[in-house]
Amino acid sequence: MNIEIPILETLLISLIILFSGYYLNSKIAFLRNNNIPEPVVGGIVFAFLSAVIHVNFGINLQFDMALKVPLMTVFFTTIGLGASFSLLSKGGPKVALFLSVATFYVFIQNAVGVSIAAATGMDPLMGLIGGSVTLSGGHGNGATYADLFISEFGMHENVFELAMAVATLGLILGGLVGGPVSKRLIKKHNLKADTSYHKELDDTVTFVPEDHDFVNPKKMMETLFVILLCMCLGRLGYEALKSIDIVFPAFLIPLLFGVVITNLTEFTKIYKVSRACIDLWGTMALSIFLAMALMSLKIWELVSLAGPMIFMVLVQAIMLMIFAYFITFKVMGKDYNAAIMAGGHCGFGLGATPTAVANMETLVSRYGSSPQAFLVVPLVGAFFIDITNALIIQLYLSLPFVSG
């Protein structure tokens, strides 16, 4: 029996799921320490409850998901609006260098995923799901591309649930492997914290652009106007490209318009986009989107594909540990800051930027501060890698042996 839930009730339930995730994270140290996102925690609990209802009573809940895609687009638009070139220059050459390293690894991550998928008889697109779509991209990116793969490439609908499971497993592994990698580098090379690093960065704990932004209703509405402008222009751009048989993910064009608008306004100084408001809109949109997305999680459909995908993610974790240990550390300077960045790379290369920050906070509390790492890693992980990742995924989708 199917029970249809209208749009307002769907939104209400998604918020209940989100708040339950906040509550569980506050009470369960494992969830809190491993930076498992609140909507994922609440969503998985709700999914288990739905599975119990389905198995025991044969009831399926059908939610009105009309708000899901707009919320997802809002989130990715804020990613574009946050990608200020002035932020890139603030970090200096280290930011560009680390972005290059992380972007290069995204190529490897997808190559590993596609190769394992082919070797185990799975659809090559599953290799992208077990690659940068979910691991470097996170839950939001995984949900987005799962919907794209279902609608554009005819994949089974359980690919969404699988993407959420892979992203969650990656998040946990990212929080577990980063510390040991950095610890080994620090011990092996006898590295010490650099106390002479530029004093103005000494208070940097994580990258929070323009903390002094004053947030008020007018600022929030102005920022919403800019976001909606990017989304409308993005839709026009998407339709124009589609008419000439160039198909990008629908969220990518608004994201690129966001990049153009935020840097154009900075250059001309005709308007100042509020970083604080961008962060708020992006965080709210992503949280509600994920809660909505996970409401329809069908756990009972995961059994047949869970084994190969778990194997794929474990291989990905080992590969990133090797890459961070031998490549990230070496390219970033083979010093203490580079060792901390290697641990951070494990965090967002498998999970998310908060995981990277958590890895680094644990390390510096024991071995000494690294302001440079806390500027470079969150800046790349929170903003720029999402853009390069989207472009690389699109490149892989253009390959005949991947998209079929």
Q: Running DSSP on this structure, what letter comes out for residue 383?
A: I
Give yes or no for a contact between 136 and 389, defined as CB atoms under 8 angstroms apart: yes
Output b/e per residue, 381-396; b: 16+ Cβ within 10 A. bbbbbbbbbbebbeeb
The confidence score (pLDDT) of residue 303 equals 58
Residue 73 CB-density burial (10 A; 0-12 exposed, 13-18 middle, 19+ buried): buried
Q: Looking at residue 196, what is its pLDDT?
A: 53
Question: Domain coordinates of the chain in residue numbers?
Answer: 2-403
Outline where 61-132 has alpha helix (H). 68-81, 85-90, 93-119, 124-129
Instruction: Tell me what pLDDT residue 211 has.
Output: 45
- Cα 230 to its chain centre, rounded Å, is 21
CB-CB contact of 313 with 346 (8 Å): no
Q: pLDDT 10s digit of each residue in the chain, 404 long?
A: 888 899 999 999 999 999 999 999 889 887 776 556 788 788 888 988 988 888 888 888 889 989 988 998 898 888 788 777 776 566 568 888 999 999 999 999 999 999 999 998 888 999 999 999 999 988 878 888 888 888 888 887 778 878 888 888 888 788 888 888 999 999 999 998 866 544 444 443 344 444 445 788 899 999 999 999 999 999 999 899 888 877 676 777 898 899 899 999 988 888 888 888 988 898 898 888 878 877 876 776 555 556 788 899 999 999 999 999 999 999 999 999 999 999 999 988 997 777 787 788 878 888 888 878 887 888 788 668 888 998 999 999 988 877 66
pTM for this entry: 0.68
Q: Could you tell me which of 129, 133, 142 has the C-alpha nearest to residue 43?
A: 142
- The answer to whether the beta carbons of residues 349 and 102 sit under 8 Å apart is yes
How long, in residues, is the chain?
404
Between CA 106 and CA 395 the distance in angstroms is 12
Backbone phi and psi for residue 18, each to the nearest 5 degrees, phi listed first? -65, -45
Q: What are phi and psi of 352, to 5 degrees?
A: -160, 165
- Determine contact, residues 18/46, Cβ cutoff 8 Å: no
Q: What is the pLDDT of residue 207?
A: 40
